[in-house]
Amino acid sequence: MKNNSRSKLSVFALGGLDEIGKNMYVVRYGDDIIVIDSGLMFPEEEMLGIDVVIPDITYLVENRDKVRGILLTHGHEDHIGGLPYILRELNVPIYGTKLTLGLVEHKLREAHLLNQTKRIIVNNRSEVTLGSIRASFFKVNHSIPDSVGIALETPEGTVVHTGDFKFDMTPVNSNMADMHKMAEIGKKGVLCLLSDSTNAERPGFTGSERNVGEALAEIFRTSKQRVIVATFASNVSRIQQVVDAAQDHNRKLAVIGRSMVNAVNISMELGYLRVPPDLLIDPDEINRLPAHKVAVISTGSQGEPMSALTRMAHGAHRKIEILPGDTVVLAATPIPGNEKTVAKTVDQLYRVGANVIYSANSSNGVHVSGHGSQEDLKLMLNLMQPKYFLPIHGEHRMLRAHGQLAESVGVRPENIFICDNGDAVEFFGGKARFGSKIATGKVLIDGLGIGDVGNIVLRDRKLLSQDGILVVVVTLSKNNGKILSGPDIISRGFVYVRESEKLLEEANRIVTQTMEKCANERVSEWASLKTSIRDALSRFLYDRTRRRPMILPIIMEV
C-alpha cells in the first residue's frame, strides 16, 4: 500500500444514523474513497405517495474519480436497495459475497444496469486492494446467509465495519461467525470500530435462529388446517426453517409474493436454500390438496397494503384466501413505524377466522432478531478492542446506548463519537476529531422519478390531503380585460358541491369583485391577478369554514 503521511483518514455516514435504513458509510484516505453499503429506507407517514428513500450521494458524485468501489456487507434492502438508483449516477465496481451479489444482480437486471456494472465476488478469505486501502472480510451471523464484516487497513490504521450481526452458536446453516479472525484483527490493532446498534437497548444475548425452527415445527405439528407463514423475503434462514418444517410434517409448500418467489429462486440457484424437488407446488394447486397437507410462505409480515398476506386476509388474492381454522404465523416483529399496519392485518385475519401467531401473543418464539443485543455488542467490542468507537445503524437513543456499552467495556468516553449523517470523524497521527460537515440528505423516489419530489411537493400533497383544492377558472377579454365567462369554481376534497351551493355562489361573487377591483386599479399582470384571487378567496373560506384548501386560479384570454 502506498503511504502518504500528509493524508488524513475520514469516516462518515451518508445514511444510517438517527434512522433505520438507507445505510451508506464512507471511508476516505487521501484520494481514495471506499463506500460501504448502499441501502434504501421505506417512507415515513408524512411522505405522501413516496415509494422509497435513498441517501443523497452528491458528495460521491462530486468526487467520483476518487471512489474505488462499493463494498456490501449483506443482501438486505436497507443495505443494497439503493444500488439500482445510485449506480446510474456513480458507475463504480461493487464487491459482495455470492448470495449478496445474486440478489443485487436481479435488481440490476430489472433496472437494465447489469451489463454495465462491474461485480466482484468476495468471501471471508478475500483481500482487495483499493488504492491505499486494503479490504478484508470476516463472516458474521445475521438473518441472511453470506453476511460479512469488513476490515479496512489504511496507512492511518484499521477501520472495522461489523455489518449487521449477532453471535449465533447454533446457526441454521451451521455457518459459524469468524470469531477467531475477529480476535486476530483486534490483536493487530483496530483504530476505529463502526458497529451495529439496532438492539443496543436490549439486554442479554439475541436468541438463536434454531429456536424459531423448533417453534415452527410445533406449529406445523399441531395445526389441523393450512399453515401460512409470513416473513421477510430476504430472511433465507427463516425460509429454510419453513421448508424443513413442511418436509418433516408431510406438507406441500407454496411460495406466494413476487419478492418471496425471487428470493427463493435465487437462493436455490446459488445453493443457499435446500428444497426437496417434490416439495414445492404451484399456488394453483393449493385448493386441490387437503388443508392439512398444505403450507404457504408469503410476504406481508409488516402489514404492507399490497402484500400477499394482506390481500389474502381481505379475500383479494387471486390464488388463495384465508379460511376459518387456518393458522397464520407472522415470523417477524414490526419495524418501528409499521405497528399500526401490522395490527390492522392481524385484526382482519382474526375477523376471517384464522388462528394468528405473532410476536405479541406468542411465548414460543416465532421470531428472533438478526441483530445482536447488549451482550453480543460487548463481545464484539472486546474482540476488536478499538481505540475509537462510532456506533452506527440505529436511531439516536440506540447509538447513545451503544456508546454507554462501549464505555462499560473500557473504551475511553472521549474516544466515543455519537454522530449524525454527514458528521466526519478525522484521524491523523493516531488522534481523532470532528472534521468538516458533509452535505447529506434524503432523495425521494416516486414511481420513475428520482429526486423530483421535494419538500414543496410534499407540502402541497399534505395540504391537498387535509383540506382539498378549489380550482377557479376565469376567461378575460384580450381587448379590454373584462370577464367574458366564469368565474367557474371546481371543488375536490373541500366541500360537497350539491350541499354547498350557497357557499360557492358567495365565493364566486368574491372572485368577481376581486377581478373588477383589479381592473379598476389597472392591475393586468396574471401573477398579481392570481395572488389577489387566492388571498381574497382564502380569507373568505377560512372565515366561513375554518379550512384552508389549496386555491388554484386559472386565467385565460380570448
Q: What is the rounded distance in angstroms from the CA atom of residue 246 to the CA atom of residue 266?
A: 20
**Torsion sign, CA atoms 350, 354, 358, 362:** positive
**Start-end of H helices in 223-370:** 236-248, 258-269, 308-313, 339-351
Q: Determine whether the annotation assigns residue 234 to a binding site.
A: yes
Based on its alpha-carbon atoms, the radius of gyration of the chain, rounded to whole angstroms, reads 29
Q: Determine whether the annotation assigns residue 56 to a binding site.
A: no
Report strand pairing: 449-450 vs 442-446. Answer: antiparallel
Report strand pairing: 148-154 vs 157-161. Answer: antiparallel
- Catalytic residue, from 168, 371, 376, 467: name it: 371
Report residue 489: phi and psi, to 5°: -115, 125
Q: What is the rounded distance in angstroms from the CA atom of residue 211 to the CA atom of residue 206?
A: 11
* 192, β-bridge pairs: 159, 388
Residues 309, 348 contacting (CB under 8 angstroms): no
Bond into 487 cis (ω within 30): yes
**Quick one: cell of 238?**
427463516
Q: Determine whether the annotation assigns residue 430 to a binding site.
A: no
Other C-beta atoms closer than 10 Å to the C-beta of 432 total: 22
User: Which of 368, 375, 367 lies closest to 202 in space, CA to CA?
Assistant: 375
Q: What is the rounded distance in angstroms from the CA atom of residue 257 to the CA atom of residue 307?
A: 7
Q: Determine whether the annotation assigns residue 393 to a binding site.
A: yes
Q: Which helix (H) or strand (E) holds 385?
A: none
Q: What is the rounded distance in angstroms from the CA atom of residue 321 to the CA atom of residue 300?
A: 14
Q: What is the rounded distance in angstroms from the CA atom of residue 439 to the CA atom of residue 531?
A: 35
Helix, strand, or coil here: 351? helix
Q: Determine whether the annotation assigns residue 81 to a binding site.
A: no
Q: List b or e across 325-350, with b for residues whose CB sees 16 or more CB atoms inside 10 angstroms.
A: ebbbbbbbbbbeebeebbeebbebbe
Q: Determine whether the annotation assigns residue 402 to a binding site.
A: no
CA distances from 240 to 96, 274, 400, 504 (A): 22, 7, 35, 62
Q: Determine whether the annotation assigns residue 76 to a binding site.
A: yes
Residue 196 among the catalytic residues: yes
Q: Determine whether the annotation assigns residue 233 to a binding site.
A: yes
Residue 371 among the catalytic residues: yes
Q: Determine whether the annotation assigns residue 74 to a binding site.
A: yes
- Catalytic residue, from 32, 37, 178, 196: name it: 196
Q: Determine whether the annotation assigns residue 371 to a binding site.
A: yes
Classify residue 19 by its DSSP letter: B
Q: Determine whether the annotation assigns residue 368 to a binding site.
A: yes
Q: Determine whether the annotation assigns residue 376 to a binding site.
A: no
Return the half-sphere exposure (C-beta side, CA atoms, 13 A cut-off) of residue 505. 5
What is the length of the chain?
Answer: 558
Region of 486 on the Ramachandran plot (φ > 0 left; ψ -120 to 50 alpha; else beta): left
Q: Determine whether the annotation assigns residue 367 to a binding site.
A: yes
Question: Residue positions in the annotated binding site for Zn(2+)?
Answer: 74, 76, 78-79, 142, 164, 393
Q: Please give the annotated binding residues for Ca(2+), written as ranges.
A: 49, 51, 446
Report the binding-site residues for substrate: 233-235, 367-371
Binding positions: 49, 51, 74, 76, 78-79, 142, 164, 233-235, 367-371, 393, 446
Annotated catalytic sites, by residue? 196, 371
